[in-house]
């Protein structure tokens, strides 16, 4: 790894390790509040500008029985007051209607019940799958991040709150041939628009990045460079964007591109041109070699990411996904890239449906845990994608799966939100069925003890 970049990452990790050791072995009193804030600020992690406030804020209002977070607590120091000029997204409001077993050696396995989380309805606030407080959003804005011959595909759809900000930015890359949809009039971002609007309603900018030049385009390394170019233009030109707080996300091909982009930032950005992503949320990562043509292995790049990197990697996989399956060890998709990462800050979560052969009991409507599950439309996206994707549904796999994990992670990293939603016990809660049974998902692996 280039030495300059190593110093940048290693110095951050050293400060955070000291913070984690002090809290883990001696209690908070072992480190004075000012020292704690200085350590996090030196590390440059999410929430560093308000570490002192986080020491006194109730950032873990949701019962977090066994969060088991890594020693590096990057992002746990949220400001508790929100990062924008509108009423705060305080961590104190993240409690939710939950009951939990006592956190004691004799309590047995934690029993979490979300009393107002019916699987067939979107949950109510303050659940991260519920509608956010920003009910008014700006009209989606399309901006270009390149021009000239062959550059017409280079566009970003900005979905943001109707408020001045500044807001952290989630950069999202779609699956192959899924950048547009909507029938005869193809609209940028259409197949994922509900997801993007949901993220924005919680006080974030959702930047939907088109990186695919056409149907036969398989240059994923160039696509990652396109994503970085789009990031630079967005952070410069969108006034409401906070240029210091970014996360990456993607679906299928887009998840592969996001992972490669994370590697480029963490390993190759010698000049510090790009902010280090607090999180990478990778849905149904597709990384198999094509039948013909060149192959760029994202898992090989994941293996090169230094263990001290501050980014938290979350792989989310639908159990019945046959397009980018996680069940075949010979196919280097989510499982392969998860195993390749050397950092502790990683997890792989499997979402389970309710159809024949699924672990969950049958429900009406059925939850379809397939490759199209991250799409937030009803039916097919439209256009060429109709020939490659099954029908998608807006359902509990969105509200209690992709949406919850995404907003839960962003809130944790930047707003003092509870750990349980994205990195603790409530990762696996998929909604409550009408008979009182709980739809369960699965943490297939995590890098921390």
Exposure string of 29-41, with b = 16+ CB inside 10 Å and e = fewer, is eebeeeebbbbbb
Q: Is it the case that residue 104 has pLDDT exceeding 70?
A: no
Tell me the domains of the chain and their CATH numbers: 3-114 (no CATH), 141-446 (3.40.50.1820)
114 pLDDT tier (thresholds 50, 70, 90): low
Pick the more confident residue, 446 or 82: 446
pLDDT for 27: 29
pLDDT for residue 147 is more than 90: no
pLDDT surpassing 60 at residue 278: yes
Residue 161 has pLDDT above 60, yes or no: yes
**pTM flag (> 0.85):** no
Contact 400, 408 (CB under 8 A): no
> Are the beta carbons of 314 and 282 closer than 8 angstroms?
yes
Which letter, b or e, does each residue of 53-67 get, where b requires 16 or more Cβ atoms within 10 Å of its Cβ?
bbbebebbbbbbbeb
What is the reported pLDDT for 115? 65
Assess contact for 284 and 255: CB atoms under 8 A: yes
Q: Please give the structure tokens belonging to residue 401.
A: 């799966």
Q: Which of 19-33, 40-54, 385-399 has the lowest mean pLDDT?
A: 19-33
Query: What mean pLDDT do residues 187-211 have?
Result: 97
pLDDT interval class at 378 (50, 70, 90)? confident
Contact (CB, 8 A) for 171 and 227 = yes
Cβ contacts of residue 376 below 8 Å, gap of 6+? 191, 192, 193, 194, 195, 198, 392, 394, 398
Render the burial of 309-334: b for 16+ CB within 10 Å, e for the rest: bbbbbbbbbbbbbebbbbeeeebbbb
* 442-446 sheet: strands from edge to edge: 141-144, 155-159, 205-210, 167-173, 241-251, 279-283, 312-318, 346-351, 442-446
* Higher pLDDT among residues 94 and 128, named by residue: 128
Instruction: Please tell me the predicted confidence (pLDDT) of residue 435.
Output: 80
What is the arithmetic mean of pLDDT over 340-359?
95
pLDDT in tens, 200-254: 999 999 999 999 998 889 899 999 999 999 999 999 999 999 999 999 999 999 9
Cα gap 88→69, rounded to integer Å: 25
What residues contact 1, with CB distance under 8 A and at least 6 apart? 267, 304, 306
Strand segments (E) across 344-437: 346-351, 429-432
Query: How confident is the model over 128-144, as pLDDT tens digits?
Result: 999 999 999 999 999 99
Is 212 strand, coil or helix? coil
Phi, psi angle pair for 347, to nearest 5° = -155, 155
Please report, rounded to a whole number, the percentage of residues in the chain having pLDDT higher than 90.
58
Q: What pLDDT sits at residue 375?
A: 95
| Mean pLDDT of the 16-41 span | 31
Mean pLDDT estimate for the chain: 79
- Residue 255: pLDDT band with limits 50, 70, 90: very high
pLDDT above 70: percentage of residues in the chain: 74
Asked if 293 and 417 touch (Cβ cutoff 8 Å), the reply is no
Q: Which residue has the tokens 């990186």?
A: 211
What SS3 class is residue 429?
strand
The average pLDDT across 419-443 equals 92
Q: 239 or 114: whose pLDDT is higher? A: 239
- Selection from 111-120, 319-328, 339-348 with the highest mean pLDDT: 339-348
Query: At 84, phi and psi to the nearest 5?
Result: -135, 180
Least confident of 72-81, 97-106, 297-306: 97-106
Is the CA virtual torsion 393, 399, 400, 403 positive or negative?
Answer: positive
For residue 36, what pLDDT band results from cuts at 50, 70 and 90?
very low
Split at pLDDT 50, 70, 90, the class of 311 is very high
CA distances from 405 to 58, 125, 222, 374 (A): 20, 15, 28, 12
What distance in Å separates the CA atoms of residue 255 and residue 284, rounded to the nearest whole number? 7
pLDDT bucket at 96, cuts 50 / 70 / 90: very low
Name which of 20-29, 115-124, 197-206 the model is least confident about.
20-29
What is the DSSP annotation of 332-347? Answer: -SHHHHHHH---SSEE
Over residues 373-384, mean pLDDT: 89
The reported pLDDT for the residue numbered 24 is 30
71 has a pLDDT exceeding 50:
no
d(CA 269, CA 169): 19
β-bridge partners, 443: 349
Give the Å distances, CA to CA, from 290 to 217, 220, 253, 328, 331: 11, 12, 12, 16, 12
Instruction: Give the mean model confidence (pLDDT) for residues 247-270.
Output: 97
């Amino acid at each position: 790894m280039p030495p300059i970049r190593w110093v940048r990452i290693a110095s951050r990790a050293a400060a955070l390790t000291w913070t984690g050791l002090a809290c883990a072995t001696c209690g908070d009193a072992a480190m004075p509040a000012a020292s704690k804030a200085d350590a996090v600020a030196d590390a440059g992690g999410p929430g560093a500008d308000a570490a002192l406030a986080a020491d006194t804020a109730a950032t873990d209002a949701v019962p977090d029985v066994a969060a088991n977070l890594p020693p590096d607590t990057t992002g746990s120091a949220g400001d508790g007051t929100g990062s924008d000029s509108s009423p705060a997204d305080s961590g104190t409001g993240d409690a939710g209607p939950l009951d939990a077993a006592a956190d004691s050696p004799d309590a047995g396995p934690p029993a979490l019940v979300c009393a107002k989380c019916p699987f067939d309805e979107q949950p109510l606030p303050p659940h991260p799958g519920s509608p956010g407080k920003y009910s008014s959003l700006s009209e989606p804005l399309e901006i270009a991040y390149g021009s000239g011959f062959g550059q017409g595909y280079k566009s970003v759809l900005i979905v943001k709150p109707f408020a001045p900000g500044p807001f952290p930015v989630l950069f999202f890359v779609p699956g192959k041939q899924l950048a547009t949809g909507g029938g005869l009039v193809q609209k940028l971002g259409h197949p994922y628009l509900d997801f993007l609007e949901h993220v924005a309603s919680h006080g974030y900018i959702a930047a939907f990045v088109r990186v695919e030049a056409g149907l036969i385009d398989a240059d994923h390394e160039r696509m990652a460079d396109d994503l970085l170019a789009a990031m630079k233009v967005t952070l410069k030109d969108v006034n409401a964007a906070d240029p210091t707080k970014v996360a990456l996300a993607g679906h299928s091909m887009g998840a592969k591109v996001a992972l490669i982009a994370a590697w480029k930032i963490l390993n190759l950005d010698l000049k510090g041109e790009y902010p280090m992503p607090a999180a990478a949320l990778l849905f149904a990562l597709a990384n198999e070699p094509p039948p013909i043509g060149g192959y760029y292995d994202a898992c090989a790049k994941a293996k090169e990411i230094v263990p001290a990197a501050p980014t938290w990697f979350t792989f989310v996989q639908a159990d019945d996904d046959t397009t980018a399956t996680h069940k075949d060890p010979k196919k280097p998709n989510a499982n392969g890239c998860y195993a390749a990462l050397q950092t502790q800050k990683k997890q792989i979560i499997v979402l389970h449906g309710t159809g024949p052969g699924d672990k969950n009991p049958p429900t009406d409507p059925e939850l379809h845990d397939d490759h199209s599950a991250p799409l937030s439309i009803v039916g097919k996206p439209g256009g060429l994608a109709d020939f490659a994707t099954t029908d998608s549904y807006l359902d509990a796999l969105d509200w209690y799966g992709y949406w919850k994990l995404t907003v839960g992670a962003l809130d944790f990293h930047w707003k003092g939100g509870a750990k349980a939603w994205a990195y603790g016990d409530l990762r696996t809660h998929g909604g409550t069925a009408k008979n009182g049974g709980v739809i369960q998902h699965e943490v297939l692996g995590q890098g921390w003890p």
